[in-house]
Amino acid sequence: DLENYRYYYMIVKDLPVMFTSVTTMIKNTLPTPRALIKWLTEQEDGENEAKERSDYGTFLHECFGELLITKQFDLDKMPKKLQQFSAAHKIQYKAEWENPLKKDLMGLGQFIIDYNVKPIAIEIILYHPQDGYAGAIDLVCEMDWEYLGDHGEVYASGKNKGTPKLTKQIKRINAIVDLKSGKKGFYESHEIQLKAYQQMWDAHFPDIRVDHLLN
């Protein structure tokens, strides 16, 4: 991290090869969303509020990773984990973070149950070999996905008897899931971020096809 910009590097023949982070690339090329500008101007200290939200999101992602890897999380240990995180990162956390963190974590837990999520990769750092950007993908997973379509069933009676009937069917898919702590909505930058992640994934794992990109 350098002055609000993030870079990645890897060592090749004892020399560092640098990559711009996906989020920095987007920040440098897209205008700031109007909704975000409005939110920042409404805060008494917009810059500080944004930093706090970033710190909240960083800690939440650590909790998400623990839940996905160990398949469990002791919510009673949240205060202690927050203290350890704040000491390690030299930040000041707020006690009122605890309940929202628990709710966000339980929300991911319910998502895992509802969609029968099976992780393929968690917080995997990849780079694009041609375009020079890199990033950490929160989650690549197998999951249930409901499709509405013609799955071979027909109407048994009525005026449509014998004609194809649209029905729902659950299929297993592979998805890239970007986990957001913000609840202000989704922006164009989120779509670009997900597509960049998919291109990195495809470059390194062409045999594991990604079917959907999700926030």
- What does the pLDDT look like over 132-170, one tens digit per residue? 999 999 999 999 999 887 777 887 888 888 788 888 889
Distances (CA, A) of 94 to 10, 20, 74, 105: 35, 31, 20, 17
pLDDT tens for 100-124 read 999 999 999 999 999 999 999 999 9
Distances (CA, A) of 145 to 23, 104, 116, 118: 28, 22, 9, 13
Supply 180's token pair: 């957001």
Q: Find the mean pLDDT for residues 23-52.
A: 72
Taking a C-beta distance cutoff of 8 angstroms, is the pair 7, 18 a contact? yes
Taking a C-beta distance cutoff of 8 angstroms, is the pair 67, 179 a contact? no
* Angle between helical axes of 78-89 and 46-70 (0-180°, round to 10): 120
Length of the chain: 215
